[in-house]
Structure 1
Amino acid sequence: MASSAGLEEMSFLQWFANLVGAPEPALRLLISILIGYPLVLIHRYTLYCKSPSLQHLYFIVCGVSIALFNYGQNIVHSAICVTVEWLLLLVMGGTIKSVIFSFLFNMTYLLVGYYMTGTDTYDIKWSMPHCVLTLRLIALTYDVYDGTKDPEKLSGDQQKTALSFTPTLVEIAAHTYFPASFMVGPQFSMRRYLDFVKGSLVGCELPPCLVPGLLRGGLGLLYLVIYQVGIGYIPDEFINSAEYFELPLWQRHLVVGVWAKITLYKYISCWLISEGVCIMSGLSYSGKDANGNCLWNGCANVKIGLYEGATTFGHMIASFNTNTNAWVAQYVYKRLRFLNNRYISQAAALIFLAVWHGFHTGYYACFFMEFVVMNFEKDLAHYISQYPRLLSLLNAGPLKYIKYVVLKMYVVIFMGYCLGPFVLLKLHKWWQFYYSLYFSGHIFFAGWPLYGSAVKALIKAIGGERVRVEKGKTD
């Protein structure tokens, strides 16, 4: 009977997935994220501020059930890494050796998982949530290590996450399998989780977080609908199709920009829905504003207003996947300060992100473009900032609106250019993609050192009096 029920479940899910035009693994993922809402409501009205041990067990059971629903016996991989992490901290404690071992072990396990499960497309397999787990476990080791240092020597971020003790196996497992974040994030520190369970994050009075959580989740569902409709008009396959290649070059650039905008909504929808669950649980609490209203952005992974209004790639990076970017900044970029070279630290952080995503060459091509684009923007913005008259001219009258339209088109079109390899993954696909656009982005951004002096000379000619500004002020 159990086997028959399983077959019926599979056939129903497959039927429903076909009905909505989504792969079955993607449907399971969506169900797993949405199930977080009733799960945190049950916790809110039965376990909130009760025994921490009972709360840990509840979150473990919920998260493990979600993992089994999606990946069956492959849950063993996350269980192995959680156990190894606990044993590592138990034996080595908060030492630099434990940090190095945790980093190497978890990244190696993840990469082996990518190798075992990878195909020519983006795969929703056990290795997908395992990338979330990898960052979480590495951060835990760092936090225990930071807890052994003098608090006054820690940065502000480190002071917020440092742990002066080694968490138990149950605490690590509950933090790992927390149902609101196990599948797609967001990342949050062990210290935030333990404060939440103890009731010291918000307080033991039930927080007013239901409506904010539902609104955030509802926004995520809206973005999911937009994605499903939009991708039906411009599917990934279209970008390398004969019909696409027949379009004029300017139309190809526009189509790629719109396609990328739609594609990113897939990620944004998942993050917003997951964030809504975190908000409803109370885990996202981040203090109060000047008017005494509760803030619920402690687990945010996207800043919608900034993202939709972005006119530079700097805006895009500051608004998109903010949780992961903050993790990389705290645990990779800032840890390389001893090198005393911002470019090396930036390159190392981007290489880490590419490796963390997997072996596909498209990831490395994408993050290479991020590196050259950001250095282009920072250098140009810094130079323009030294000419107040030019800035005033660009930000006044009709020019202000013209500038906004031009910059918006710039971001949309070239975001599509940069994102292409990330979606297409394989070398022959993204190379053909770039060939269709005549490598325009590479020429424009990577060629900046060759033509930048001419642009700066033009700015100097029309910019008026120059005011020296320190480089760090505009970075």
Structure 2
Amino acid sequence: METESNVLAKIGNLVGSSEAALRLLLSVFAGYPLALLHRKYIYGKEPNLQHTYFFVTGFALGYFNYGLDILHPLTAMLVTYLILIVFGGTVLAVVTSFVFNMGYLLIGYYCVGTDNYDINWTMPQCIIVLRLIGLTYDVYDGQQPPETLSKDSKKVALEKVPAFLETCGYVFFPTSFLVGPQFPLTRYREYVAGKYGEGNKHPPNSVEAAVKRLALGVMFLMLFLILGRFVSDEYIISDEFNNINFLKKGFLLGVWGRFTLYKYISCWLLTEGACILFGITYNGENEQGVKEWNGVENVKVSLLENATEFNHYILSFNINTNTWVAQYIYKRLKFLGNRYYSQGITLLFLAVWHGFHSGYYVCFTLEFIVMYLEKDLKSIIKSNAKATAFFERPAVKIAVFILLRIYTFVFMGWCLLPFALLTYDRYWHVFRALNHIGFVIFCLYPIVYGPLLRMLLKSKSTTTHQD
């Protein structure tokens, strides 16, 4: 008889997927029957029963994907919990947890990483690292005077170390620890307590919302598979791509960028749908009194697909990780007194969190530069009355909108090249094929175009004032 691994490998070959990717996809879809079982038999029951269910099912999915390597995330959780027990809500606990979890993750990257996009135990590990560090911060914040905390920190602060079984269920929640999304223990605790249900221990009325998200996830998965037939990573670094004309390269680069984004978007939408089916995504009621289920939304599809600036991508893509980083890294750097220093360190943290490949560092450096360009350009135009009036003209607005749609479509692909291709020889090959156009536009802006444009518009403004 064929082993399970051989069967999955053959199925993966048929659909053009690796065995590891197929296991992960099956685990994401497994979240739906697990949610249905919880809704039917366990929702509203004694908390420890629910914690046990979440831990056992989550750990089982981890074992299905990574075998005994799932003991690495378990070890990280156990050590972090021990840190909290020994040091409590202190600065020492935060520092120790941060150093241990990031160190463990980086050692994992060093030991098992390759030059390709790896699906191994470091994937859930990187999710759990943020969850454990955030948990330590929340316990620390719970010991601080409330008036010293930000509004967001007050919502998630914990007055004491959570119970061990509760921590297990939270960390290994079956539809969030493999690929995200991130959410605080306070949300998990409210959900287990039945606060998101319909009363009398009835499960949340979230089935319709879950089905919609599932359908959207399947649609993006299909788009990813279709686009992969035309603009795979292998194609983008091939001689065939290198030899086509420049404009076609730009268009295909934009299509490849969408292909790359859809890989993540489809997975996040599918796992978010399972989270919605559990009911842990409750986010209050809208103005019409209808319950909303976007509490752990990781992708704003409409904003992403209609982006006219790179900030739209940041606001609409991997939202929960961005929120986590903003709360636990960026806002904690206020003492530096300079937002660019804070942004730079935050992006450096994200690069390190992803791993050692140079592509991560190039990608987040490009993000820093592009965001600087967009903010500075807006500031320059806003400071000049004539420029502002010019861009308010209806015809100009339409033209600018079209140009910005092309700009974001093409250059999102450019900025994703190092992130997706990872190694210098691969992403630099594509940069060279595109005549380094992104570097000409973005990297020269702070030292050439920006100062020149600022001086020109200031000069015109001064001349007009004198006249």
Q: Please report the TM-score for the alignment, with normalisation by the length of structure 2.
A: 0.96
Aligned to 2:253: 256
Q: Check if 1:100 corresponds to 2:98.
A: no
The aligned amino acid for 2:26 is I
Structure 2 unmatched runs, 5+: none
Aligned to 1:455: 453
Cα distance change on mapping 1:436 and 1:352 into 2, 3 Å: same
For residues 132 and 385 of structure 2, the distance between their equivalents in structure 1, rounded to whole angstroms, comes to: 47
For residues 390 and 302 of structure 2, the distance between their equivalents in structure 1, rounded to whole angstroms, comes to: 26
Aligned to 2:350: 353
The aligned amino acid for 1:166 is V
Cα distance change on mapping 1:43 and 1:392 into 2, 3 Å: farther
The aligned amino acid for 2:322 is N
Aligned to 2:64: 69
Q: Check if 1:266 corresponds to 2:282.
A: no
The aligned amino acid for 1:451 is Y
1:312 is displaced (CA, Å) by 0.2
Give the one of 203, 207, 213 matched to 1:206. 203
Give the one of 7, 16, 28 matched to 2:11. 16
The question of whether the paired residues in 2 share the 8 Å contact of 1:83 and 1:169 is answered with no
For residues 150 and 107 of structure 1, the distance between their equivalents in structure 2, rounded to whole angstroms, comes to: 28
Q: Check if 1:315 corresponds to 2:312.
A: yes
For residues 318 and 206 of structure 1, the distance between their equivalents in structure 2, rounded to whole angstroms, comes to: 31
For residues 76 and 419 of structure 1, the distance between their equivalents in structure 2, rounded to whole angstroms, comes to: 32
Give the one of 110, 115, 133 matched to 1:115. 110
For residues 227 and 460 of structure 1, the distance between their equivalents in structure 2, rounded to whole angstroms, comes to: 47
Q: Check if 1:185 corresponds to 2:180.
A: yes
For residues 305 and 24 of structure 1, the distance between their equivalents in structure 2, rounded to whole angstroms, comes to: 32
Aligned to 1:300: 297
| 1:97-176 correspondence runs (5 A) | 97-176=92-171
Q: Check if 1:25 corresponds to 2:51.
A: no
Structure 1 unmatched runs, 5+: 468-475
Aligned to 2:238: 241
Identity of aligned residues (%): 46
1:280 is displaced (CA, Å) by 1.1
For residues 218 and 113 of structure 1, the distance between their equivalents in structure 2, rounded to whole angstroms, comes to: 35
The question of whether the paired residues in 1 share the 8 Å contact of 2:170 and 2:188 is answered with yes
Q: Please report the TM-score for the alignment, with normalisation by the length of structure 1.
A: 0.94
For residues 294 and 313 of structure 2, the distance between their equivalents in structure 1, rounded to whole angstroms, comes to: 18
Moved more, 160-169 or 244-253: 244-253
Aligned to 2:408: 411
Q: Check if 1:229 corresponds to 2:226.
A: yes
1:153 is displaced (CA, Å) by 1.7
1:261 is displaced (CA, Å) by 1.1
1:275 is displaced (CA, Å) by 0.7
Moved more, 53-62 or 377-386: 377-386
Aligned to 2:435: 438
Aligned to 1:472: none
1:201 is displaced (CA, Å) by 4.2
The question of whether the paired residues in 2 share the 8 Å contact of 1:86 and 1:168 is answered with no
Q: Check if 1:197 corresponds to 2:192.
A: yes
Cα distance change on mapping 1:466 and 1:25 into 2, 3 Å: farther
The question of whether the paired residues in 2 share the 8 Å contact of 1:390 and 1:462 is answered with no
3-state SS in 2 of match to 1:80: helix
For residues 303 and 462 of structure 2, the distance between their equivalents in structure 1, rounded to whole angstroms, comes to: 31
For residues 51 and 202 of structure 2, the distance between their equivalents in structure 1, rounded to whole angstroms, comes to: 19
Cα distance change on mapping 1:287 and 1:463 into 2, 3 Å: farther
The aligned amino acid for 1:194 is R
